[in-house]
Structure 1
Amino acid sequence: MPEVVVDLALDSDLEWCARLMAESDPWLTLGRGFETCLARCRGPEFHVLMARESGQPLGFLLLHPTGVAGSPYIAAIATSASVRGRGIGSMLLDAAEQWIPAARHIFLCVSSFNTRARQLYERRGYTQAGEFPDYVIQGASEILMHKRLVRP
């Protein structure tokens, strides 16, 4: 079985990332179209980490190195529908958690309706740090989650 590798995305990967976002939840429900997603992926403040197998993209993670109180913030994570359940999301989270070696904490937000993602984050040690009701869309909250990173 080919190895999955996580590394920095190339500029040529960003349209693929934006298309994946725009065509899947939570971004569909949040009303984020392709152009908005592409602008986010191209943001110079972000590191875009890409999971690939045999050179083919499987998923990505958008990381702001100092997004919450100077700690890394995961702004987006997505995997292709065909590889969900294979651990690609966990690989991307592992990479993000190790990307800034001096970081002691990491944060992310998850939409209240995105229960599957929230379960993944909780299994991986993230806990709720706050809630923003009606933050993006009426009737849904954005849940701020935090994980303390253990460093050797």
Structure 2
Amino acid sequence: MTAPTIDLALDTDFEWCAQLMSTNDPWLTLGRDFETCLVRCRGPEFVVLLARNGEQRAGFLLLHPTGVAGSPYIAAIAVSAAARGQGVGSALLAAAERWFPAARHIFLCVSSFNTRAKKLYELRGYVQVGELPDYVIAGASEFIMHKRLERP
């Protein structure tokens, strides 16, 4: 299996990204519709990284350069159903971790019901540093996760 290629998403990719978000969890459970997701994907404050397997879009990641205390914040990551389990999520996380070479820390939030994603983040070295109970929806928490980036 070859690693996906990852680069900046183009304007023509944003609708695909929003469709992927709005039709999959955690965004379904969190009540995010296509229009809401599209606004996020087109937000000028975000870097949108797109993963491709050959010519096929495989996933994307929304990255805010200074989202938490001046450190990069991964606002969303999604992998298409056809590409899950093929290392696309890990490749997107690795790209985000390298994107701002001067950054020493990176953060993300993961919903308490999104156990598969939380496990991936932990395997990649992210540690839960906080919890926001009932933050987006009642009965679910958002776990704040952090990774200290090793820099030469």
TM-score by length of 1: 0.98
Contact 2:61-2:74 at 8 Å conserved across structures: yes
- Backbone CA RMSD of aligned residues: 0.9
Which residue number corresponds to residue 33 of structure 2?
A: 33
The residue that corresponds to 2:79 in the other structure is 79
Asked whether the equivalents of residues 3 and 91 of structure 2 are also in contact (C-alpha less than 8 Å), the reply is: no
CA gap of 1:3–1:148, structure 2 versus 1, over 3 A, is closer
Give SS of 2:130's match.
strand
Percent of pairs with identical residues: 74
Q: Does 1:20 align with 2:20?
A: yes
Aligned CA distance change for structure 1 residues 126 and 32 (closer, same or farther; 3 Å): same
| Cα shift readout 1:87-122 (whole Å, capped 9, x = no counterpart) | 000000000000000000000000000000000000
Aligned partners of 2:119, 2:106: CA distance in 1, in Å? Answer: 17
4+ runs deviating over 3 angstroms: none
Q: How many residues align?
A: 152
Other-structure match for 1:109: 109
Q: Distance between the aligned counterparts of 2:97 and 2:76, measured in 1?
A: 14
Is the Cα–Cα contact under 8 Å of residues 107 and 144 in structure 2 kept in the other structure?
Answer: yes
How far did 1:2 drift? 5.8
Structure-to-structure mapping, 1:46-57, within 5 angstroms: 46-57=46-57
CA contact (8 A) 2:5 2:51 kept: yes
Structure 1 stretches lacking a partner, 5+ long:
none
Q: Is the 8 A contact 1:58 1:80 kept in 2?
A: yes
What amino acid does structure 2 have at the position aligned with 1:101? P
Counterpart in 2 of 1:150?
150
Residues 2, 54 of structure 1: 8 Å contact kept:
no
Structure 2: any 5+ residue segments left out of the alignment?
none
Matched-pair contact (CA < 8 Å) for 2:105–2:149 = yes
Q: Deviations along 1:57-85, whole A, 9 cap, x unmatched?
A: 10000000100000000000000011111
Aligned to 1:68: 68
SS at match of 1:28: coil
